Copies of this chain bind each other. A is one copy, B any other.
Amino acid sequence: MTQSDIGVAVIGAGMAGRAHCAGYRSAPTLFDPPLPAIRYAAVVDANEAVAKDAATRYGFERTSTDWRELLDAPDIDVVSVVVANELHRPIVEALLEAGKHVLCEKPLAPSVTDARAMVAAAQARPDLVTGTGFLYRRQPAVAAVRDLLHEQLGPVSHFNGRYWCDYARSPLTPMAWRYKGGPGTGALADIGSHLIDLAEFVCGPLASVSGAAFTTMVTQRAVPVGTNYGHARAQLSDVVEPVENDDVATFTAHFASGAVGTFSISRVTPGHANSLAFDLLAERGAAKWDMERPAEFSVLLDPTDEARAAVNGYNQVLVGPAHPYIRGGLPMDFPGCSFGVGDLFGYQARAFLEQVAGIEGLPPVASFEDGLRDLTVIDAVTRSAAAGGAAVELA
């Protein structure tokens, strides 16, 4: 960087965009060493009022309704792209060409083709940092389980994962871009992308998928009146359009290690607003976690002596100072009541800014290659479903 501080902008000020703003605001308060000074430069959103509200709340200097205005702005070094999936590629390519570091929300792109192009654009600018927003890698419990696997539990033999949400359960939830596109672009791409990334982050790469099946439970939705942000209900118009993609996706997978996995993904689950969860069986124990109780995980360690025979069973661990992100990441580091999802965005923002500033510290943000990889798996699952569940190999 030629400047002594880092200028930040966020494109998209819906729910997730505001969370990026909040993350950048928290980033300098967390961990050591200190970050360079952050300049909170700009918030961009097609809806000017939305952009202004976010800028005021999170302390950004200016707003715009056109992301292109960022391209030539010399005070902007880092840009988060938090807009509809189909817009990722053109925006990211332009930002990279303009010399901006880019943190792009997941899924990286609407297709493997687009994602490949974005990876190529990133590789063409090795001087710039790029990242994909797989936020849940930074759940302290996920990081702790991953560490425990490496240190104590040994290789995974069995991964049962699910991501169950309910944001699309109501037939009254209005039509939106997320219900458009062919099979695999629905729940699989939107939330399954997180589960797939988590599975590979924790257990290593997948080798093949099979038994894939998609279901659409709510087959049509009314177009809302006016613009619709987030998942919220809105006033509905008389225009009804078909839902084009999957509400539910399931598949079986084999990991390169030989482990087997079952994946269950739904955006129409009664009673589960945001349950990203897994059960892991490993060589010398087991672990489980559910984001409904993000601050705890359970781990079973094979007893090493007879003295523990009477107390074998899962340990219920409250995430605390012995775990990643807690010590130094929060003003109060009591186990169990410390962090919220806002803190995760802070960790992610700080990690990305550390990479930009050349500071060794947090694990880096998932790369564009990770984002492409995720889409490759999504594509394979989609092909398995199209083939009635037949096995599809991954490269």
Binding site for B on A (CB under 8 A): 15-16, 18-19, 21-22, 25, 28-30, 34, 56-59, 144, 147-148, 152, 157-158, 160, 162, 210-213, 215, 217, 248, 250-252, 254, 258, 260, 262-264, 266, 268-274, 281-282, 284-286, 291-296, 298-302, 307, 309-318, 320, 322-323, 330-343, 345, 384, 388-391
Contact = CB atoms under 8 A, between A and B. Distances in A.
Instruction: Give the dominant DSSP class at A's interface.
Output: mixed
A269 B286 contact: yes
Given A25-B25, A273-B320, A291 B336 contact: yes
Given A157-B215, A291-B336, A340-B340, 11 more contacts: A22-B331, A211-B384, A212-B252, A262-B262, A271-B285, A271-B312, A292-B296, A310-B322, A332-B342, A337-B340, A339-B342
Contacts of A291: 336-337
A57 to B, nearest CB: 4
A15 B331 contact: yes
Contacts of A215: 157, 258, 260
Contact of A331 (B29, B213, B281, B342): B342
Contacts of A30: 57
Give the residue among A21, A211, A333 with the most B Cβ atoms within 10 A.
Answer: A211
A18 B30 CA distance: 11
A210 B342 CA distance: 40
A269 to B, nearest CB: 6
27 contacts: A15-B331, A22-B29, A28-B56, A144-B310, A148-B311, A157-B248, A211-B211, A211-B252, A213-B252, A213-B254, A262-B263, A262-B264, A270-B286, A273-B334, A274-B337, A293-B296, A294-B337, A301-B311, A316-B316, A330-B340, A330-B342, A331-B342, A331-B345, A332-B342, A337-B341, A342-B342, A388-B390
